[in-house]
Amino acid sequence: MAQENTEPPTPPSPIETLDIEAVLAKLSTSEKVDLLAGIDFWHTKAIPKHGIPSLRFTDGPNGVRGTRFFNGVPAACLPCGTALGATWNVPLLQEAGTLMGKETIAKGAHVILGPTVNMQRSPLGGRGFESFSEDPVLAGSSAAAIVNGIQETGVVASIKHFIANDQEHQRMAVDSIITERALREIYLLPFQIAVRDSKPGSFMSSYNKLGGTHVSENPRILDDILRKEWGWEGLIMSDWYGTYSTSEAMNAGLDLEMPGPSRWRGQLVNHALMANKISKQTLDARVREVLRLVSRVAKTGVPGNAPEGSRDTPETSALLRKIGGESIVLLKNDNKALPLDKSKTVAVIGPNAKIAAYCGGGSATLLPYYATTPFDGIAAKASETKYSVGCYSHVLLPLLGQNLKTADGKVGVTFKAFTDPVEVSDREPVDVIHLADTYMYLVDYYHPKLTEDLYWTEVEGFFTPDEDGDFEFGLTVHGTGKLFLDDELLIDNETVQRSGGSFFNVGTVEEVGVKNLKAGQTYKIKVEYASGVTSKLSDSDGVVSFGGGGIRIGGAKVIDPTEEIEKAVALAKSVDQVVICAGLNKDWEQEGHDREHMDLPGRTNDLISAVADANPNTVVVIQSGCPVRMPWADKVSSLAQAWYGGNETGNAIADVLFGDVNPSGKLPLSFPVRNEDNPAFLNYRSSHGRVLYGEDIYVGYRFYEATLKATQFPFGHGLSYTTFRLSELAVTNDGTNLTVQVLVENTGDRDGSEVVQVYIAQRAPCVKRPLKELKGFTKENIAAGQSKVVTVTIETKYATSYWDEERDTWVSEKDTYDVLVGTTSAETPLKASFEIEESKWWRGL
């Protein structure tokens, strides 16, 4: 639907720190109620006479979009969450957070909706790429670093999604059933660490239920644990449309309903006050947090309703490239196929080679300043580069925008909006926009002359193929639409519609049409569209519709996959070095739905196997946010996991492949051989409205080690172009802190970085515990031939404790504890021990 503020925006003016209690005393009940919900998709209510501005929120976890999904202001896109976790570099992640804060200020916003700190239960999670890790210590430490960086700029981070928002299937309705031990030791712990180490200024509640009660109205989670037990202070907001009640949510501690206009507050709060279902004290408590947030963001210097800008600078690019390079994990490097030789010929093959898979889909998406492809990055370094697509792997046809021209020669399409349907012969557009992209998510599209949810648009561009052949075009909509090629109807996505996973799972499948085209001839492509309210699809259970509508136009030449694989094999035989770029993209991994399997798309596995047989120096680069199945892993010489790398995706990949950057990333989650091997396999997705976390505390490596089940690659794994040796482990415990020291030697001929990972194992616990658990880590850069004593300090109670369900508290038991130090969860050769002389129970931070 067209989003419109409920009142004219107030002019920009500086935000000033408030005398909160004095302002609170002056507010009328009606004004207080107005402050407890947004007025549109991104803004809170302004009350100028009391000095209260409108605050602006913005997505997201890997970059700052600003206020618009549609035709937004370009932004810096950071590597995705799992990529950030793969750096294992806390200081670097703080720099990333600082960059996000500066980007937020440039967008005229005050609060960034991130980072995402939910756990990697399964490889199939639709938003798994947003999260850091399967391990709560790595996830919590990464989150704290990001938050500290964001908040040092004055911007407030809204850490999310609190709690157990670990799947997309029926995410608004599902009841997560979790033991108290697992809840505390796995799912709450990363948030607890972030509160302890960074004090995020706001929290976002999750969509799901926990133990039968939606989290946004769950007082045990929001009030008892977060505010009272942890002593946290700040504002709690709902996820978008994640408020489901009035008095229950208010009384539980949910301060702000987003987005607006309100569905659950306004007059409903007044009615609840009259009925004494909400007390005046509770109302004041909720308003007080909104006022505190206003005061807190005053130091950003960003006024209310500020203009949106960008800050595309060389310094930003350099930092993004550094983060991208540090995130790449070298999984395998037999025969030293890597680094590549710049003087030799390179064949770049694969469906991801000429596509910049820079981020996942959903709330994380944004319009990047630019995005480099792997082919571009490799070609910029190699003396001679050749290319073959090999096969397609798209779930939706590639976006056509960059291959189209407008009538006046600009790259992209012309978008026109109308208040009348196409049948009105003399209709005139009320809005005309040039767009470079053919993905148009209209959730926040607004024009003053479009006063109704129902409106019509026309999208036009011109396509000139560079070769003869059949071309396939695709149209996906939330709403209704038809695609015409030279005024001939090619696709009808209006008369009959089929549900698909597009536009946060409320749009259609991609309807396609095929046409034989001639090279050099120009064809007009036109889409006639009516807004989201015309959709013939019924709502799905557990799916949130953000309204508005959406249009997606894709297209590609029709290929014979067998012939293309044969071409790729012939090319691989003709060159010295081969790089296969494969994986997923934001159509496969996106908010709104989970993946159905771990397999690579289409004929990708056949392509990799055939090329690896043809050339022994085959390097495979996989881009995905979560693990994929790798049945060809033993065939290829080298293998790198490159995630979704942000603006500098292609350059970062090339830097590592050619050795300009020595890889130092480590896996932040275990890579199973098959989906059936992962601990959540039997308990993932909603079943009759609930999901049982049957793996309990045995998430990720905890499960694989306990069951002796082999992984494709273990948690913490990652190779380098140099070698390291760890020795001389020393452990001291002063009762408060555990200090672990180890000598790290770079025994190779290149400077490089190694991650020292510290795991703890209790010898004789009173309950079953994992064989070992990560409790601390640090990343150190060491010059070739040099050594360094590395220190990791861990609070003793965090190193040793588990959740005692009988006493409903943490316990650090009297026992002997082993300290296991290494460079992956599967390789911890150094061992020492310490004693806890007396059992101690504790709560809080």
Strand 480-485 with 488-493, pairing: antiparallel
CA distance 418 to 423: 12
pLDDT in tens, 339-348: 999 999 999 9
Q: Are 809 and 225 in contact (CB under 8 A)?
A: no
Residue (of 720, 725, 751) closest to 338 by Cα position? 720
Q: Is 601 helix (H, G, I), strand (E, B) or coil?
A: coil
- Structure-block tokens of residue 300: 């950003």
Peptide bond between residue 8 and the one before it cis (omega within 30 degrees of 0): no
Task: Give the count of beta carbons closer than 10 Å to the beta carbon of residue 176.
Answer: 23
Identify residue 178 by its one-letter amino acid code. I
pLDDT in tens, 783-804: 999 999 999 999 999 999 999 9
Q: What is the DSSP-derived secondary structure letter of residue 596?
A: S
Element (H, E) at 378: helix 374-379
Domain with CATH 3.40.50.1700 in the chain: 349-394+561-697
pLDDT of the residue at 145: 98
Tokens 């571009």 belong to residue = 376
Domain with CATH 2.60.120.260 in the chain: 395-557
With a cut of 70, say whether residue 337 has pLDDT above it. Answer: yes
pLDDT of the residue at 363: 87
Confidence tier at 388 by pLDDT (50, 70, 90)? very high
- For the chain, the residue count is 845
Residue (of 242, 236, 226, 271) closest to 256 by Cα position? 236
> Residues with Cβ < 8 Å from 115, sequence gap 6 or more?
61, 81, 132, 142, 143, 146, 147, 157, 159, 160
Residue 239 falls in the annotated catalytic set: yes
Element (H, E) at 332: strand 329-333
pLDDT in tens, 26-51: 999 999 999 999 999 999 999 999 99
pLDDT of the residue at 2: 38
Quickly list DSSP for 636-663.
-SEEEE----GGGHHHHHHHHHTTSS--
Confidence tier at 704 by pLDDT (50, 70, 90)? very high
Q: Is the dihedral of CA 190, 192, 198, 200 positive or negative?
A: positive
> Residues with Cβ < 8 Å from 551, sequence gap 6 or more?
438, 439, 440, 442, 457, 459, 475, 476, 477, 479, 481, 527, 529
Is 3.40.50.1700 the CATH classification of the domain at 349-394+561-697?
yes
With a cut of 90, say whether residue 548 has pLDDT above it. Answer: no
CA distance 468 to 557: 9
Task: Give the count of beta carbons closer than 10 Å to the beta carbon of residue 196.
Answer: 17
CATH architecture of the region 724-842: Sandwich (2.60)
Q: Where are the alpha helices (DSSP H) in 208-279?
A: 219, 247-252, 267-274
With a cut of 80, say whether residue 546 has pLDDT above it. Answer: no
Cβ density class 212-222: b for 16+ within 10 Å, e for less: eebbbbbbebb
pLDDT of the residue at 500: 87
pLDDT in tens, 742-765: 999 999 999 999 999 999 999 999
Identify residue 820 by its one-letter amino acid code. L
pLDDT of the residue at 6: 46
Q: Are 140 and 85 in contact (CB under 8 A)?
A: no
Q: What burial class does residue 827 get, using C-beta atoms within 10 Å of its C-beta: 0-12 exposed, 13-18 middle, 19+ buried?
A: middle
Q: Is 117 helix (H, G, I), strand (E, B) or coil?
A: coil
CA distance 530 to 510: 16
Range 708-721 average pLDDT: 98
pLDDT of the residue at 781: 98
- Structure-block tokens of residue 262: 């309100």
User: What angle is formed at CA 507 by the lines to CA 501 and CA 511, rounded to 5 degrees?
Assistant: 85
Residue (of 611, 604, 649) closest to 628 by Cα position? 604
Range 689-714 average pLDDT: 97
- Structure-block tokens of residue 385: 């580069």
Element (H, E) at 774: strand 773-782
Give CA separation, 621 vs 338, 354, 651, 672, in Å: 12, 13, 13, 18
Range 521-531 average pLDDT: 97
With a cut of 60, say whether residue 542 has pLDDT above it. Answer: no
With a cut of 80, say whether residue 185 has pLDDT above it. Answer: yes
Quote the crossing angle between the two packed helices 136-151 and 90-106, to the nearest 10°.
40
Quickly list DSSP for 608-639.
HHHHHHH-TTEEEEEE-SS----TTTTT-SEE
Which class is 395-557 in CATH? mainly beta
Residue (of 525, 561, 556, 581) closest to 399 by Cα position? 556
With a cut of 80, say whether residue 197 has pLDDT above it. Answer: yes
pLDDT of the residue at 262: 95
Q: Where is average pLDDT lowest: 14-18, 183-187, 705-709, 750-754?
A: 14-18
Range 684-701 average pLDDT: 96
CA distance 629 to 674: 6
For the chain, how big is the Rg over CA atoms in Å? 27
Q: Are 117 and 356 in contact (CB under 8 A)?
A: no
Tokens 């209006």 belong to residue = 494
Q: Are 632 and 610 in contact (CB under 8 A)?
A: no
CA distance 110 to 544: 25
pLDDT of the residue at 1: 35
With a cut of 70, say whether residue 4 has pLDDT above it. Answer: no
With a cut of 80, say whether residue 12 has pLDDT above it. Answer: no
Domain with CATH 2.60.40.10 in the chain: 724-842
Give CA separation, 381 vs 387, 412, 652, in Å: 15, 29, 12
pLDDT of the residue at 15: 85
Strand 523-530 with 456-463, pairing: antiparallel
Confidence tier at 545 by pLDDT (50, 70, 90)? low
Per annotation, catalytic residue among 34, 239, 255, 437? 239
Confidence tier at 8 by pLDDT (50, 70, 90)? very low
- Structure-block tokens of residue 157: 């981070």
Which residues on neighbouring strands pair with residue 469, listed in sequence order?
517
Q: Is 119 helix (H, G, I), strand (E, B) or coil?
A: coil
Instruction: State what percent of residues in the chain have pLDDT above 90.
Output: 92
CA distance 221 to 219: 5
SS3 assignment for 296-329: HHHHHCCCCCCCCCCCCCHHHHHHHHHHHHHHCE
CA distance 129 to 321: 19
Confidence tier at 540 by pLDDT (50, 70, 90)? low
